[in-house]
C-alpha cells in the first residue's frame, strides 16, 4: 500500500482520555502560488505528546506555526480548511489572535531569549498580559523556572542577562517562558536540534514531566527522539499527512511502506 | 600491469602536488588583493591627514590669537613713528611708482631678492584718531625699531584697541594722579571702575529691562482687552484703569532705577584716564571704558598667560562688542546649543515614529516605496531651500495664523510671523529627518526575526513587541542616526540666515521671564557668527583671527555634543552585549 493518493492519513492514534484539544481538518496552505500543505487532517489529544516527523521540507514546521497563527506574519500566505481549538475555529474573525497565542506557548529551534535578565525573560508573557503585582510575578516566574528544571541553576542569578546562559539553559529558559503564562498547549519546533546530547536529554526528561499537565506538539527530525518522548506520532511527506498513530505501534509496525522506508532510513 | 599504472598515477599525483605547492608559495599579488589594500588604505590615510591638517591649521591660527603680542615702535625713514602689534609678515613685489621713490641702494637690495621686498602689517589701533586699524610698513622703510617698555595695549568698549602710553589716571578717590602703570593703585582703581560699570549694566539691562518688559505686557494686555471687548465696553474701561495704575507703579520704579543709574554714570564719568599715542596726541576717556590694559613689552610669562586666559574666558562668557569683532560669543554659543537641542527634540520622535510606521505597519507596496524615495530625496535638497520653505510656510503661513489668533495685540509687529527659535528648529528638523529615518529603519531591520517571533509567540501584541523588544534593541542604531542628525543640524548656516538668526540678538531665547523658553525670539548662532565676522565686518584683518577662534569653538561644541550622544549610545550597547548562542 502506498497511500500517496489518499487525502486522509492512516490513523490509529492513542486516545488520552481527556478528549481532543486541537483538530486540524483538511488544512491546506499556499505560499503565494506554491502549495505547502495538502489537506492535512490530524487530531491532537489533550495531555499527550504528539510528534510530527518527516524529511526536510515536508511542511511540519509550517503546520506547527499554523496552529498558533504565526503564519499570519507572512504576507503571501493563503489557507483553506480549518483548525479548531476546543471546537472553535481559530480562524474565526471574532477570535483575538493575541488571546489565542496566549493559550499556546512556542519554543523555537534556535533558543531566542530576549536581551533582558533571566527573570525578565520568564515573566515576559505575564507582563504583556497585564500582570503587575510583583509578588505574583515572582511566584509564577519561580514556578515556571521550576517547571522547566532550570530553577536550581539560575535562582542565584535571576538578574543577570539571559544571554550569558549556555545553549541548553537558554532553551530551557525559553521553555520556562513558554509555560509561564500557563498555556494549554506547548508547541515545540525542533527544540533540541541546536543542542548537545546532554542538553537534549535534559529537555526530553522535561517533556516527560510536562506530559499530562500540558499538551505538547513537537516537530522533530530525530526519529529516536520521537520514539522516546511522544505518545502519538504523525508522519508527513511533501506537505501531506501520511500516517498518524500510537508511537509504540508506529515504530514497531507502521501501516504504510513509505512510512517504513522513512523510519528505517531508506530515504529522507 | 595494474601496479605499474598505480605507480604512474601516484607519480602524477605527486607531480601535480608539487606544482600546486610551487604555485601556492608564489601567489600573484593581484590575486591576494595587495594593490587594492594599499590603495584603500592610502585613500583612508589621505582623508584622515586632510582632516587632521585642517584641524591643525585652524588650531594653529586660532589658539595663538589671544596671546598678547609685543608692541613695536617703528621709526620710518621719513621720520614718522608708528606703534603697533606686528600681526602679519609677507614678501611682496613693490609697484613701479614705489620702486621709483626708493634709493638706489634699496632698489639693489630688492633686485638681489628676486624683486621681492618685505613688509609687516602693524595693528596700530586708535581707529578714532587714525581712521585705520592696520598699517603696512615695508621693511626697507624702517630706520629704527624698538620695543618700549611703557607701551600699553588697551582694549576698549568702543573704537577697538588703543596703543600708547599712560599719561595719567585721575579720580575723585585718588590722592594724587597715577602716572605709572605699575602703580598698585592702578589695578585697584581699574577694578573699581569695572565693578561700577557692571553694576550700571545690571541696573540698566536687567532691572530696567524687566520693568520695560512688564510695562510692555501691561500695554499688550490693554490692547488685548480693546480687541476683545471693543473700545467702548466696560471691560475696556476696567482694563484701562488697571493699566493706568500698574504703569504708574512701574514708571515710579523706572524713575528710581534710572536715577540710580544716572548717579552711577555721573560718578563713573569722573574716573578718567589719559593715554598718549606714539605721535603725541592724547585721548581722554572714562576709566571704565578700558576693558583690559597691559604693558605689551613688559609682561612676564605668567602675565602673558593671565592675559591669554582672561581673553579666552571673556570669549566664552561675555557678549560681543564692536560689531562682533571683539568681546565674546556667549549668546551665539547659547543660541547654537538651544537650537540644536530643540531640533533634536523635534527630529527624534518625528524620524523614529515615521520609520516605525514605514517599516512595521505600512503595507509594503508602491505607495510606501515612493514615500521612502521621497524621504531619501529630502536629504539631497540644498539647505537654503529649506530656509526658504521655513520662511514661506512656517513663518508666513503658520506664524501669521498663530499671530492672528493668539497675539493679535502685538500686530503689526510679528511674533511668530517671522523667523525665530521655533521655526528655525523645525526647519532644521525637517532637514535632518531623512538621516534619522534611514538609520532607524536599518536598526529595525537588524533586529532578528527570531526575537520578534519569540515575543509574539508569548502572546504580545505587535505594539508590545515593538515597545519591549524591537525598539530597545534598535536603540543604539537609532542613537547613531540622531547623532548624525545633530551634527549636521548644528553646523547648517544657510537656512538659518533666513529663518531666525540675527547678527546681534538683544536677548537670549531662554531667560528668567515666563514662559522662560521664548520660541519666537531670534537668536545668534556660531556658524552664522563665523560668516558674519568673516565677511560682514568693517575690519577683515581684525576679524580673521576671530573667525579661526570661533571655528575652533564650533568644532569643539559639536564634538562635545557628539561625544555625549556616543556615550549614551555605548551605555545602551553594553546592555545588549553578551554571548549570542
Confidence of residue B21 (pLDDT cuts 50, 70, 90): low
| pLDDT at residue number A2 | 45
Count how many pairs of residues, chain A against chain B, have C-beta atoms within 8 Å: 80
Task: Tell me what pLDDT residue B159 has.
Answer: 86
What is the total residue count of chain A?
A: 268
> Is the separation of the CB atoms in A63 and A52 below 8 Å?
yes
Over 70: is that where the pLDDT of B20 sits? no
Average pLDDT, chain B: 87
Which residues of chain B does A70 touch, with a Cβ-Cβ cutoff of 8 Å? 453, 456-457
d(CA B250, CA B243): 10
How many Cα neighbours within 13 Å face the side chain of B236?
Answer: 11
What whole-number percentage of chain A has pLDDT above 90?
A: 53
Q: Are A6 and A55 in contact, with CB atoms under 8 Å apart?
A: no
Measured in angstroms, the CA of B315 and the nearest CA of chain A are apart by: 48
With beta carbons under 8 A apart, name residues in chain B contacting A127.
468
In whole angstroms, give the CA distance from residue A158 to residue A176. Answer: 13
Per-residue confidence band for A123, with pLDDT thresholds at 50, 70 and 90: very high
ipTM associated with this complex: 0.90
Cβ-nearest to B459 among A111, A115, A128: A128
Using the Cβ of A98 and the Cβ atoms of chain B, whether some distance falls under 8 Å is answered with: yes
Contact B543, B537 (CB under 8 A): yes
> Is a pLDDT exceeding 80 seen at residue B8?
no
> Chain A within 8 Å of B8 (Cβ-Cβ)?
no
In chain A, the N- to C-terminal Cα span, in Å, equals 19
With cell 560681543, the residue in question is: B320
Q: Which residues of A touch B448 (CB under 8 A)?
A: 112
Q: Which residues of B touch A108 (CB under 8 A)?
A: 450, 453-454, 457
Best B457, B465, B472 residue to mutate vs chain A (most A CBs within 10 Å): B457
Confidence band for B26, pLDDT divided at 50, 70 and 90: low
pLDDT for the residue B438: 93
Residues of B in contact with A114 (CB under 8 A): 451, 454-455, 468-469
Calculate how close chain A gets to B464, using CA atoms only, in Å.
7
Question: Which of A114, A117, A144 best probes binding to B when mutated, by most B CB atoms within 10 angstroms?
Answer: A114
Q: How far apart are CA B14 and CA B11, in angstroms?
A: 5
Q: How far apart are CA B305 and CA B317, in angstroms?
A: 18
What is the bridge-based pairing of β-strands A240-246 and A10-12? parallel
Lowest mean pLDDT among A256-260, B431-435, B479-483: A256-260
B191 touches chain A (CB under 8 A): no
A140-144, B75-79, B408-412: the lowest-pLDDT one: B408-412
Q: For residue A164, give the nearest of B451, B461, B578 by CB distance.
A: B578
- Among the partner-chain residues A112, A129, A164, the one whose CB lies closest to the CB of B450 is A112
| Beta strands across the sheet bearing A10-12 | A10-12, A240-246, A232-237, A49-53, A215-219, A185-189, A104-107
Is residue A9 within 8 A of residue A243, CB to CB? The reply is yes
Local confidence band at A3 (pLDDT 50, 70, 90 cut-offs): very low
Find the residue in A nearest to B363 (Cα): A75
What span, in angstroms and rounded, lies between the C-alpha atoms of B521 and A200? 68
> Which helix H or strand E contains B424, and what residues bound it?
helix B421-445
pLDDT band at B578 (very low <50, low <70, confident <90, very high): very low
pLDDT for the residue B577: 54
Contact A124 B472 (CB under 8 A): no
Q: How do residues A19-44 score in pLDDT, each as one tens digit?
A: 888 999 999 999 999 999 999 999 99
Whether residue B468 is predicted with pLDDT greater than 80 in this model: the reply is: yes
- Contacts of residue B450 in chain A, CB cutoff 8 Å? 108, 110, 112
User: Is the pLDDT at A18 greater than 90, yes or no?
Assistant: no
Q: Does A111 lie at the interface with B, CB-CB under 8 angstroms?
A: yes
Q: Classify residue B254 by burial, with Cβ atoms within 10 Å: 0-12, 13-18, 19+.
A: middle
Provide the grid cell at A258.
Answer: 513509505
How sure is the predictor about B565, in pLDDT bands with cuts at 50, 70 and 90?
Answer: confident
Least CA distance to A66: which residue of chain B?
Answer: B457
pLDDT score, position B440: 95
Round to whole Å and give the CA distance between B130 and A43: 105
Residue B452 has pLDDT above 90, yes or no: yes
| A215 closest CA partner among A73, A68, A36 | A68
For residues A26 and A19, the answer to whether their CB atoms sit within 8 Å is no
Q: Is B365 on the interface with A (CB under 8 A)?
A: no
Contact B454 A112 (CB under 8 A): yes
By C-alpha distance, which of B243, B285, B495, B550 is closest to B384?
A: B495
Q: Does B349 contact A at CB distance below 8 Å? A: no
pLDDT of B351:
95
Rounded Cα distance between B478 and B497, Å, is 29
Which of 481-540 (B) contact A at CB < 8 A? none
Chain B residue numbers touching A104 (CB-CB < 8 A)? 457
Whether residues B457 and A105 touch (CB distance < 8 A) is answered with yes
Cα within 13 Å of Cα(B479), Cβ side: 18
B457 interfaces chain A, CB cutoff of 8 Å: yes
Interface contact B460-A124, CB threshold 8 A = yes
Nearest-by-CA chain B residue for A68: B457
Q: Is A164 on the interface with B (CB under 8 A)?
A: yes
> B145-178, pLDDT tens digit by residue?
999 988 999 999 888 899 999 888 888 878 888 8
Beta-strand ranges (E) seen in B320-438 are 320-321, 326-327
- Whether A110 and chain B come into contact, CB under 8 Å, resolves to yes
CB atoms B457 and A68 under 8 Å: yes
Please indicate if any CB of chain B lies within 8 Å of the CB of A198: no
Please compute the mean of the pLDDT values over residues A244-266 and round it to a whole number.
86
CB contact under 8 A, B578 and A125: no
Q: Which residues of B are less than 8 Å from A194 in CB distance? A: 581
Distances (CA, A) of A16 to A13, A184, A209, B84, B545: 9, 15, 16, 106, 90
Amino acid at each position: 500500500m502506498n497511500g500517496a493518493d489518499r487525502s486522509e492519513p492512516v490513523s490509529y492514534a492513542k486516545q488520552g482520555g481527556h478528549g481532543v484539544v486541537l483538530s486540524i481538518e483538511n488544512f491546506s496552505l499556499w505560499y503565494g502560488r506554491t502549495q505547502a500543505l495538502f489537506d492535512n487532517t490530524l487530531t491532537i489529544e489533550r495531555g499527550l505528546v504528539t510528534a510530527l516527523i518527516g524529511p526536510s521540507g515536508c511542511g511540519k514546521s509550517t503546520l506547527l506555526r499554523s496552529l498558533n497563527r504565526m503564519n499570519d506574519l507572512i504576507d503571501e500566505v493563503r489557507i483553506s480548511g480549518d483548525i479548531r481549538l476546543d471546537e472553535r475555529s481559530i480562524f474565526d474573525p471574532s477570535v483575538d489572535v493575541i488571546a489565542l497565542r496566549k493559550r499556546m506557548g512556542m519554543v523555537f529551534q534556535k533558543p531566542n531569549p530576549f536581551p533582558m535578565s533571566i527573570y525578565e525573560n520568564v515573566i515576559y508573557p505575564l507582563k504583556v498580559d497585564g500582570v503587575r503585582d510583583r509578588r505574583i510575578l515572582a511566584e509564577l516566574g519561580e514556578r515556571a523556572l521550576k517547571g522547566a528544571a532550570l530553577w536550581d541553576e539560575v535562582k542565584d542569578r535571576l538578574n543577570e542577562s539571559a544571554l550569558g546562559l549556555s545553549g541548553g539553559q537558554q532553551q530551557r529558559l525559553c521553555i520556562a517562558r513558554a509555560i509561564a503564562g500557563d498555556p494549554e498547549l506547548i508547541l515545540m519546533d525542533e527544540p533540541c536540534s541546536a543542542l548537545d546530547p546532554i542538553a537534549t536529554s535534559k529537555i526530553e526528561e522535561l517533556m516527560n514531566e510536562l506530559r499530562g499537565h500540558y499538551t505538547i506538539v513537537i516537530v522533530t527530525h530525530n526519529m529516536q527522539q520521537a520514539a522516546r518522548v511522544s505518545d502519538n506520532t504523525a508522519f508527513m511527506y511533501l506537505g501531506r499527512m501520511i500516517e498518524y498513530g500510537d508511537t509504540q505501534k508506529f515504530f514497531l509496525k507502521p501501516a504504510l511502506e513509505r512510512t517504513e522506508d522513512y523510519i528505517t532510513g531508506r530515504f529522507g | 600491469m595494474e601496479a605499474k599504472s598505480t605507480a604512474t598515477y601516484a607519480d602524477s599525483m605527486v607531480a601535480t602536488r608539487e606544482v600546486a605547492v610551487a604555485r601556492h608559495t608564489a601567489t600573484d599579488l593581484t590575486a591576494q588583493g595587495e594593490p587594492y589594500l594599499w590603495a584603500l588604505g592610502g585613500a583612508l590615510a589621505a582623508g584622515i591627514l586632510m582632516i587632521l591638517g585642517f584641524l591643525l591649521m585652524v588650531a594653529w591660527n586660532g589658539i595663538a590669537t589671544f596671546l598678547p603680542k609685543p608692541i613695536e615702535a617703528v621709526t620710518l625713514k621719513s621720520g614718522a613713528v608708528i606703534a603697533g602689534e606686528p600681526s602679519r609678515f609677507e614678501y611682496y613685489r613693490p609697484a613701479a611708482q614705489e620702486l621709483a621713490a626708493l634709493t638706489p641702494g634699496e632698489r639693489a637690495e630688492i633686485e638681489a631678492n628676486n624683486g621681492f621686498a618685505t613688509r609687516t602689517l602693524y595693528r596700530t589701533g586708535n581707529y578714532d584718531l587714525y581712521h585705520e586699524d592696520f598699517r603696512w610698513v615695508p621693511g626697507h622703510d624702517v630706520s629704527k625699531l624698538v620695543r618700549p617698555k611703557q607701551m600699553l595695549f588697551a582694549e576698549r568698549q568702543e573704537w577697538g584697541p588703543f596703543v600708547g602710553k599712560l599719561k595719567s589716571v585721575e579720580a575723585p578717590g585718588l590722592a594724587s594722579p597715577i602716572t605709572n602703570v605699575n602703580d598698585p593703585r592702578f589695578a585697584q582703581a581699574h577694578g573699581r571702575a569695572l565693578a561700577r560699570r557692571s553694576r550700571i549694566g545690571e541696573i540698566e539691562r536687567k532691572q530696567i529691562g524687566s520693568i520695560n518688559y512688564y510695562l510692555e505686557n501691561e500695554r499688550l494686555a490693554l490692547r488685548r482687552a480693546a480687541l476683545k471687548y471693543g473700545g467702548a465696553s466696560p471691560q475696556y474701561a476696567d482694563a484701562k484703569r488697571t493699566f493706568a495704575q500698574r504703569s504708574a507703579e512701574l514708571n515710579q520704579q523706572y524713575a528710581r532705577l534710572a536715577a540710580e543709574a544716572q548717579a552711577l554714570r555721573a560718578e563713573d564719568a569722573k574716573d578718567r584716564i589719559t593715554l598718549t599715542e606714539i605721535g603725541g596726541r592724547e585721548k581722554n576717556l572714562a576709566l571704565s571704558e578700558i576693558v583690559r590694559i597691559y604693558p605689551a613689552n613688559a609682561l612676564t610669562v605668567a602675565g602673558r598667560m593671565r592675559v591669554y586666559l582672561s581673553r579666552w574666558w571673556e570669549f566664552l562668557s561675555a557678549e560681543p562688542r564692536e560689531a562682533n569683532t571683539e568681546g565674546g560669543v556667549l549668546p551665539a554659543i547659547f543660541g547654537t546649543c538651544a537650537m540644536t537641542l530643540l531640533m533634536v527634540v523635534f527630529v527624534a520622535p518625528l524620524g523614529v515614529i515615521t520609520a516605525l510606521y514605514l517599516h512595521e505597519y505600512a503595507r509594503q507596496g508602491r505607495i510606501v516605496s515612493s514615500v521612502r524615495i521621497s524621504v531619501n530625496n529630502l536629504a539631497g535638497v540644498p539647505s537654503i531651500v529649506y530656509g526658504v520653505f521655513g520662511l514661506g510656510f512656517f513663518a508666513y503661513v503658520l506664524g501669521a495664523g498663530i499671530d492672528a489668533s493668539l497675539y493679535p495685540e502685538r500686530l503689526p509687529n510679528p511674533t511668530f510671523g517671522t523667523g525665530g527659535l521655533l521655526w528655525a528648529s523645525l526647519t532644521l528638523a525637517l532637514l535632518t529627518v531623512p538621516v534619522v529615518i534611514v538609520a532607524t529603519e536599518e536598526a529595525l531591520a537588524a533586529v532578528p526575526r527570531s526575537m520578534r517571533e519569540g515575543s509574539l509567540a508569548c502572546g504580545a501584541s505587535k505594539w508590545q513587541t515593538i515597545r519591549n523588544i524591537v525598539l530597545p534593541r534598535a536603540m543604539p542604531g537609532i542613537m547613531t542616526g540622531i547623532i548624525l542628525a545633530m551634527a549636521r543640524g548644528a553646523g547648517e548656516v544657510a537656512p538659518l540666515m533666513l529663518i531666525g538668526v540675527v547678527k546681534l540678538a538683544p536677548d537670549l531665547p531662554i531667560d528668567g521671564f515666563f514662559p522662560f523658553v521664548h520660541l519666537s525670539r531670534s537668536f545668534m548662532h556660531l556658524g552664522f557668527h563665523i560668516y558674519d565676522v568673516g565677511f560682514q565686518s568693517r575690519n577683515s584683518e581684525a576679524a580673521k583671527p576671530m573667525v579661526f577662534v570661533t571655528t575652533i569653538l564650533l568644532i569643539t561644541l559639536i564634538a562635545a555634543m557628539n561625544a555625549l550622544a556616543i556615550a549614551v549610545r555605548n551605555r545602551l550597547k553594553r546592555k545588549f552585549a553578551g554571548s549570542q548562542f
